[in-house]
Structure 1
Amino acid sequence: MNSAVERHPPKTQTIQVNGLSFFVETRGNPEGEPVLFIMGLGAQMTLWPEALLNAYADAGYRVIRFDNRDIGLSSQVKARLNGHPLAAMARYRLGLPLAAPYTLHDMARDACGILDGLDITRAHIVGVSMGGMISQILAGDHPSRVRSATLIMTSTNSPRLQLPKLQLIVKLAGVGAKGHDEEAVVNRSLAFWKTIQGTVHPTPLQEVQERLRSDFRRSYHPAGILRQTRAILATGSLSSITRRIRVPTTIIHGTADPLVRPGAAKQLQYLVPHARLQLISGMGHDLPEPVLHEIAKSGLAMMASV
């Protein structure tokens, strides 16, 4: 067999969890130890690089990825948001309570429900950004479901952490976004991508643009992205949960991440003393092809020791 698709033909299904429908894909050895990949804010499961998924499948694991609620081909939550996004961010920063249709705790329960739907008791967890926050909740509050945790470019979500640059905060809040046709969305997303990708291994912009077009045609639900953002803000700091993590943990972070600053990774390592921290020089808030081998090697080494 010549291609990764032939080696690991993906299978898709929908699983009903918490009154919602989730689009789930599995690949690799169906008898292998399961690895659940959890994506970040506003990103469909298609953002996981195929090369990274297939590295785990090649190692004999059962690889699972899914669209979070409110994104991709999973269910949208029918709920309106109250208040201006920037006002919500201000309340979060001040540590004030914030209303939201759901929180990251609900999204962690989604992940548990997906494992139930696949008849999986425990899984290795790989989470990126918001998915890394969900992974912390799983490992801290649902330890019986987690064999190990790989936390990539994520944080405890503490409002005391260094903020991203102001222009990123404004863009994340959706302020000034105009146009919802394909060209407008792709151009806006491409501009955002340029600000968060790394300095050493930037992905060619044509490749990024092609992926953005493909994702737009697959699904585009901007209201869901705003609700996911509100879920992060309403959840607040995860520090007390992160302190309870006892499963083997690897933390991976780029030194050039402008969105979730490298100091967040160091705080995670402090709160999870047994965790291994790997800083990747020049990596931003992205998963560029040249560093995928390094990311997979680090995660697989830790998982093999469990």
Structure 2
Amino acid sequence: MDICDVNGVSLGVDEFGEPDAPLVLCLGAPTTLSWPDALCEQLAAQGRHVVRCDLRDAGASSHGDLESPDYTLRDLAADAAALARAFDERPAHLAGIGISGMIAQVAALDHPDTFSALTLIGTRPVAPGPVDDDLPDHDQATMEPLFSRPLPDWTDVDSAADFMAEGARILGNDADEAREVAARIWQRTQDTDPETHLADQLGMVFSRLDCQPRWRERLPQLKVPTLVVHGRLDPFFPVGNGEAIAREIPGARLLVLENASTAVPAADVPEVVTAMVGL
């Protein structure tokens, strides 16, 4: 891990591939480990310089008040633009997954000259909170068991990893992989207090952000090649959200992973890499 100072904050980053290769910037959700190692390694093998980063208040990045963050969604979008320019003067391929897919949409709209392509995985075109009437909301049959569980002892790595593995099982993801990733995130967490571990594992700070103004109505303004990837089985942001994004961004390609939920399964990584490189 390295630290990159941009836009008045410090962001944790790690890199794959040659620094002079075309840049693919992968925004964490909230940490770098939202992006599978295999996906980053295969992109690098295809001639890309992959930089994945922690968001503010996550991983090795700057931390503030986790209960009342003093920044907005558009600040995170500006972070992405500044980070891309710090690594390469050429326009970059920007990628977001889950909550960082929202940041990526706003970044591409607010900083059009900074980005040459856009990949959006498992996300939606509106901020946290009530969704538009035409968009499917969280599947409540999945959300009830997911959010009714007692919280773990976040200061114990095994307790935290078991909790995240069980959450992955409920969502339809690979529980063993989720347990391994959760343990790695836990080891990277800056502080030992439960609130910081909670922020790193679940990204709860994002739900407290000011995400106004809306950006969905601006999506037709996007001019960059865009790939929208969505799991057919995603109960958190059901696939209709990805379909809506793909309809509203001119020329966007929709790639539906038929056996995937919220995470990109190992078996689907090569297809996603091929599609990203093809933009």
Q: TM-score range by the shorter chain?
A: 0.7 to 0.9
For 1:188, give the aligned amino acid: F
Change (3 A) 1:238 1:178: same
Which residue number in structure 1 is paired with residue 110 of structure 2? 141
Which residue number in structure 2 is paired with residue 58 of structure 1? 45
The answer on 1:254 being equivalent to 2:239 is no
Deviations 1:108-157 (A, max 9, x none): 11111212332434101121111211111122121100101111111102
After TM superposition, list the pairs within 5 Å mapping 1:46-195 onto structure 2: 46-78=33-65, 80-81=67-68, 101-157=70-126, 159-160=131-132, 161-166=135-140, 176-182=150-156, 183-195=158-170
Which residue number in structure 2 is paired with residue 197 of structure 1? 172
How many Å apart are 1:275 and its aligned residue?
A: 0.6
For 1:181, give the aligned amino acid: T
Contact 2:2 2:13 in 1 (8 A): yes
5+ residue gaps, structure 1, are 1-11, 82-99
Change (3 A) 1:67 1:167: farther
How many Å apart are 1:284 and its aligned residue?
A: 0.4
Contact 1:125 1:149 in 2 (8 A): yes
For 2:61, give the aligned amino acid: S
Distance 2:199 2:54 in 1: 15
For 2:273, give the aligned amino acid: A
Moved more, 252-261 or 156-165: 156-165
Distance 1:185 1:265 in 2: 30
How many residue pairs get aligned? The number is 265
1:210 to 171, 176, 180: 180
Distance 1:298 1:283 in 2: 16
Distance 1:176 1:120 in 2: 47
Give me the TM-score of the superposition, normalised by structure 2.
0.86
Change (3 A) 1:148 1:101: same
Change (3 A) 1:165 1:36: same
Contact 1:56 1:63 in 2 (8 A): yes
Change (3 A) 1:226 1:59: same
Deviations 1:36-90 (A, max 9, x none): 01122xx420231121111111111111111111111111122534xxxxxxxxx
After TM superposition, list the pairs within 5 Å mapping 1:247-286 onto structure 2: 247-286=224-263
The answer on 1:221 being equivalent to 2:197 is yes
Contact 2:24 2:51 in 1 (8 A): yes
After TM superposition, list the pairs within 5 Å mapping 1:229-244 onto structure 2: 229-231=207-209, 234-235=211-212, 237-244=214-221
Distance 2:136 2:57 in 1: 28
For 2:261, give the aligned amino acid: G
Distance 1:174 1:228 in 2: 20
Distance 1:58 1:212 in 2: 26
Distance 1:72 1:189 in 2: 16
How many Å apart are 1:13 and its aligned residue?
A: 2.5
2:16 to 27, 30, 45: 27
Moved more, 238-247 or 206-215: 206-215
In structure 1, the residue corresponding to 2:269 is in which secondary structure?
helix
- Superposed structure 1 runs of 4+ greater than 4 Å apart: 167-176
Distance 1:251 1:197 in 2: 20
How many Å apart are 1:207 and its aligned residue?
A: 3.6
Distance 1:124 1:275 in 2: 14
How many Å apart are 1:266 and its aligned residue?
A: 1.2
Which residue number in structure 2 is paired with residue 39 of structure 1? 28
For 1:150, give the aligned amino acid: T
Distance 1:74 1:194 in 2: 29
Change (3 A) 1:197 1:169: closer
Change (3 A) 1:270 1:119: closer
For 1:23, give the aligned amino acid: G
How many Å apart are 1:236 and its aligned residue?
A: 6.4
For 1:291, give the aligned amino acid: D
Which residue number in structure 1 is paired with residue 270 of structure 2? 293
Change (3 A) 1:229 1:218: same
Deviations 1:233-257 (A, max 9, x none): 7346421232211111111111101
Distance 1:191 1:176 in 2: 12
How many Å apart are 1:173 and its aligned residue?
A: 7.3
